[in-house]
């Protein structure tokens, strides 16, 4: 495949105007969940695909209005059309998951069929005694979580950091994203992969997921550490920054509780909305608690300071990023804050400065946004043409009765690869 104009990865903020984003429309892999395997699949409930798909189509429809969208399955199918990539990628996946017996048959199939099966799963063939008696339904399990494309790769400047997933059930997502960024002829970038054999030897205990990784500025990263991103994972990122031997760089770290499960990633309690506004779950981000906010400064390949800060918003202000914190769940009480945070009420995705997407169900959060100057516009009005996206601050609301039950919001379902610099 020859491509004249490559898309160069370039992300230096969470809110610069979006120029390219990778998504994955949920498919049959979602319907392969059962009450028995939902916990293993990292879900607390099973989803209704028809409802989730309708909600997702509204979400993607908005994205299509504001940027160029790329589907994981299409990108994967493209690179599987390259014979050398197909062979090496399938061999790696099958070896990793103990399924080399299906490798020859997969090699015989078309690129599009293989791409579909790598996401939706490869059903086990019960052609010997071991497989006949196996309790497993799949030789390669479905990737139930891939609609949350944020987690398996992270764009920062002109590079992509590949995720080191906290749960083995998601490892294939990172393998696929690494292959896409390394081999797709449309995309120009360099990858940093903690999953290589050398890095696995040199860095133990590493886990890194994109829901914990946010770009405040070209020289500022904001990273959460909890059940999905380990302190060792942040140390790995720190080592990559040190290797560049650049001028002063900053990493702000926010500790997260292990429970409840809605605190799974930083973007469930904190997201950037604009150059001067952020969404916060106030009890954790602003309140008095035992979860530390740490500031690490790196200059010319060395850590020059590590110190604790009062909270994340004040730490950002000290770096010249002065944020007005908008409260998830509003200010009416703990109950509404907890309820709306549970349903991804802090998880907003900015497609331009001050222009964000979030769930329509979190009414107290939306009211708070409106009081802070964000015009609230239902997505369906945008899609029907009844309303145009304004020039000023706005929040486009998408349905999320089913999607929210998957444990993520608009930011979770997007992996930006290019934004305009601010």
In a domain, 64, yes or no: yes
What average pLDDT does range 169-174 have in this prediction?
96
Q: What does the pLDDT read at residue 45?
A: 62
R_g of the chain computed on alpha carbons: 21
Q: Three-class SS of residue 223?
A: strand
Q: What three-state secondary structure class fits 398?
A: strand
Q: What is the pLDDT of residues 344-383, one digit of tens each?
A: 999 999 999 999 999 999 999 999 999 999 999 999 999 9
- Three-class SS state of 396: strand
Question: CA-to-CA distance for 317 and 320, rounded, in angstroms?
Answer: 5
Interatomic CA distance for residues 148 and 74, integer angstroms: 16
Domain count, the chain: 1
Please give the order of strands across the beta sheet that includes 355-359: 349-352, 355-359, 394-398, 375-378
The residue whose two tokens read 């390259």 is: 82
Q: Specify if 407 maps to a domain.
A: yes
Least confident of 127-131, 275-279, 304-308, 381-385: 127-131
> Does a structural domain hold residue 2?
no
Q: Which percentage of the chain shows pLDDT scores above 90? A: 85
Cα–Cα distance, 221 to 249 (Å, whole number): 8
Q: pLDDT band at 2, cuts 50/70/90?
A: very low
pLDDT interval class at 1 (50, 70, 90)? very low
Could you report the per-residue pLDDT of 4-32, keeping only the tens digit for each?
Answer: 579 999 999 999 999 999 999 999 998 87
Does residue 253 sit within a domain? yes
**Has residue 1 been placed in a domain?**
no
Structural domain including 389 reads: 7-419
Least Cα distance to 208 among 169, 164, 178 occurs for 164
Phi, psi of 291 (to 5 degrees): -95, 120
Which CATH number does the domain housing residue 168 bear?
Answer: 3.75.10.10
Q: How far is CA 315 from CA 120, 152, 250, 294, 308, in A?
A: 42, 27, 10, 9, 9
Q: Using CA atoms, how far apart are residues 359 and 346, in angstroms rounded to an integer?
A: 10
Helix (H) or strand (E) holding 191: strand 190-192
Dihedral of CA atoms 394, 395, 398, 400 in degrees, nearest 10, equals -170
Q: Is residue 41 pLDDT above 70, yes or no?
A: no
Question: Strands 187-188 and 138-140, how do they pair?
Answer: unpaired
| pLDDT (average), residues 165-173 | 95
Two structure tokens written together for 124: 């086990």
pTM listed for this prediction: 0.95
pLDDT confidence of residue 304: 98
């Amino acid at each position: 495949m020859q491509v004249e104009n490559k898309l160069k990865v370039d992300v230096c903020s969470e809110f610069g105007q979006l120029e390219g984003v990778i998504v994955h429309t949920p498919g049959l892999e979602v319907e392969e969940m059962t009450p028995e395997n939902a916990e293993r699949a990292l879900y607390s409930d099973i989803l209704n695909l028809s409802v989730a798909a309708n909600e997702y189509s509204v979400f993607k429809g908005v994205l299509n209005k504001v940027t160029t969208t790329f589907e994981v399955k299409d990108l994967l199918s493209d690179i599987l059309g390259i014979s050398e990539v197909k062979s090496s990628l399938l061999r790696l996946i099958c070896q990793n998951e103990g399924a080399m017996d299906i490798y020859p048959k997969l090699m015989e199939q078309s690129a599009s069929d293989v791409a579909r099966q790598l996401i939706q799963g490869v059903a086990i063939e019960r052609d010997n005694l071991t497989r006949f008696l196996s309790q497993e339904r799949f030789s390669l399990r479905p990737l139930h979580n891939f609609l949350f494309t944020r987690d398996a790769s992270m764009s920062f400047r002109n590079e992509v950091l590949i995720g080191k997933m906290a749960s083995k059930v998601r490892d294939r997502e990172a393998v696929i994203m690494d292959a896409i960024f390394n081999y797709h002829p449309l995309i120009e970038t360099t990858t940093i992969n903690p999953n290589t054999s050398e890095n696995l030897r040199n860095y133990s205990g590493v886990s890194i997921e994109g829901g914990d990784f946010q770009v405040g500025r070209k020289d500022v990263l904001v990273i959460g550490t909890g059940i999905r991103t380990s302190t060792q994972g942040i140390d790995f990122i720190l080592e990559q920054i040190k290797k560049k031997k650049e001028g002063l760089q900053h990493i702000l770290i926010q500790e997260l509780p292990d429970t409840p499960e809605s605190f799974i990633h930083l973007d469930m309690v904190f997201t950037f909305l604009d150059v001067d506004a952020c969404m916060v779950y106030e009890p954790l981000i602003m309140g008095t608690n035992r979860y530390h906010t740490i500031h690490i400064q790196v200059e010319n390949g060395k850590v020059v300071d590590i110190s604790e800060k009062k909270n994340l918003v004040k730490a950002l202000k000290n770096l010249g990023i002065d944020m007005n914190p908008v409260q998830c769940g509003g200010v009416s009480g703990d109950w509404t804050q907890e309820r709306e945070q549970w349903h991804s009420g802090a998880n907003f995705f900015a497609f331009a400065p001050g222009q964000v997407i979030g769930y329509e169900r979190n009414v107290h959060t939306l009211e708070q946004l409106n009081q802070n100057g964000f015009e609230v516009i239902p997505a369906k009005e945008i899609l029907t043409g009844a309303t145009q996206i304004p020039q000023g601050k706005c929040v486009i609301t998408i349905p999320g009765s089913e999607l929210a039950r998957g444990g993520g919001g608009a930011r979770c379902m997007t992996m930006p690869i290019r934004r305009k610099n601010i």
